[in-house]
Amino acid sequence: MTKMTNYKITIQYEGTRYQGWQRQDSTGNTIQGKLETILAKMTGLDFVQVDGSGRTDAGVHALGQVANFKIGTELSAAEVMDYINQYLPEDIGVVAIQEVPERFHSRLNAKGKTYRYRIWNTSLPCVFARRYVYALPEPLDLDAMRAAASYLTGKHDFKAFTSNKKSKKSTVRTIDSILIDRDGSEVVITYSGDGFLYHMVRILTGTLIEVGLGQRSPASVEALLEKDATRDLAGALVPAKGLCLVEVRY
């Protein structure tokens, strides 16, 4: 019997036409589902489970999603990666693979993540990057947004910044940094932290945008971190297409 090996892979994908990362019974059009189907075909098994570092939503992209799976095969790691890429659609790709200890788990062992949100901040059309940016023509006050971001960094209860009302798990997270930069017509917000709740980055971005538009003061953001703060007090949920998972740290 071939020894089972645990493989860690790094995956890139353009999330535009997928229903997110997580496998779903109602559709095979997910990133996890595509990978599991290919690995089952490669091994001849009925099912091979692929565990991701987290669940990106429908329409969200990834430069550095990480996952792991355990299979028994005579193929080398490089051959496994080549096989997967041969059958993946062109908007998903495995860019790195390595053998890891049996106990490694891409989600449970993750120490931190970095996400990037891109805003096309001009009235001019964005023809070639339109799938990856949120078009917002109104001018943004980046200094005000940075002032608001300073309240959000550190360890806080972010329950006002998640759409998941039913979860009983802790909503306390640590944000190490929020960087807000302008590159020509584009405003880029980069978030790094120990983990992020469901819709958290998109709601944080919606809140910072409201500050940038002068719809709320930077100082008002502090109240959203208090224990009685609720989701309806925070900003709008911005579109998924502007969001990209850049890196997972271990």
- Tokens 């430069």 correspond to 63
All structural domains of the chain, each given as residue ranges with its CATH number in brackets, are 4-100 (3.30.70.580), 112-249 (3.30.70.660)
What tokens appear for 157 in the block?
């209860």
For 196-223, b/e burial (b = at least 16 CB within 10 A) is bbbbbbbbbbbbbbbbbeeebebeebee
User: Which one-letter amino acid corresponds to residue 239?
Assistant: P
**Region class of 156: left (phi > 0), else alpha (psi between -120 and 50), else beta:** beta
Binning pLDDT at 50, 70 and 90, where does residue 234 land?
very high
Instruction: Give the pLDDT confidence score for residue 3 in this predicted structure.
Output: 87
Instruction: Give the gyration radius of the chain's Cα atoms.
Output: 20
CA distance 154 to 146: 14
Catalytically active residues are 57
In the chain, the N- to C-terminal Cα span, in Å, equals 31
pLDDT for res 1 = 63
Tell me if the pTM is above 0.85. Answer: yes
Contact in structure between 142 and 187 (CB atoms under 8 Å): yes
Q: Which whole number is the average pLDDT over 70-98?
A: 97
Alpha-carbon distance 78 to 82, whole Å?
6
9-51, pLDDT tens digit by residue?
999 999 999 999 999 988 889 999 999 999 999 999 999 999 9
pLDDT tens by residue, 176-230: 999 999 999 999 999 999 999 999 999 999 999 999 999 999 999 999 999 899 9
Does 142 score more than 70 pLDDT? Answer: yes
Count of residues for the chain? 250
Which residues are 6's β-sheet partners?
A: 70, 100
Query: What confidence score (pLDDT) does residue 28 get?
Result: 86
Instruction: Round to whole Å and give the CA distance between 10 and 50.
Output: 12
Q: Within 10 A of 167 (CB to CB), how many other CB atoms are there?
A: 11
pLDDT given for residue 237 in this prediction: 98
